[in-house]
Amino acid sequence: MSSADTFSLNNLTLPSSTALIAQSSKSNEAQSSKSNEAQSSKSNEAQSSKSNAADRKLATEFGKKIDLNNTHVRKFRKYRGFYPNLAKKIIKNAPYDSVEDVLNIKGLKPKQKKKLQANLEKFTVTKTSEVYNAGDDRYNPGVY
């Protein structure tokens, strides 16, 4: 502290009230910053501990592309000519080891095979997940 930040009283040198307020303000800012960092860390930990198998799967490529082993039939509606017939064939013949395996489905018409080839980059294949394949949810996800 400089001499402007202090005053003398009976041979004691004490900080001025302005200096004390400024010092207190800096201390409060530092504590607030640490508190915000701690809350952010706790929030991130809470979010990660609350995630489930479906959330973790959505965070992978599965959430960005159609997963041939796990996506339900209605997701294929965004691609012209897939829903419902071609989508049903894809789901019925899963699981696949690679995206290209979908081209080997028996009974595909040349037009269907051409549609698949044109859209291969929009698909992915991940390990079959119970979360998405339990019951008949891939055929009828109950979205009405």
Cβ-contact 86, 76 below 8 angstroms: yes
Q: What is the pLDDT of residue 55?
A: 72
Topology (CATH) of 56-133: DNA polymerase; domain 1 (1.10.150)
Q: In the predicted model, is pLDDT for residue 99 greater than 90?
A: yes
Q: Tell me how crowded residue 6 is: count the other CB atoms within 10 A of its CB.
A: 13
Task: Note if the pTM is more than 0.75.
Answer: no
Write the CA distances from 89 to 43, 81, 119, 141, integer angstroms: 43, 12, 16, 16
pLDDT digits (tens, 9 = 90+) for 13-64: 556 665 556 566 566 566 666 655 656 555 555 555 677 776 776 666 656 7
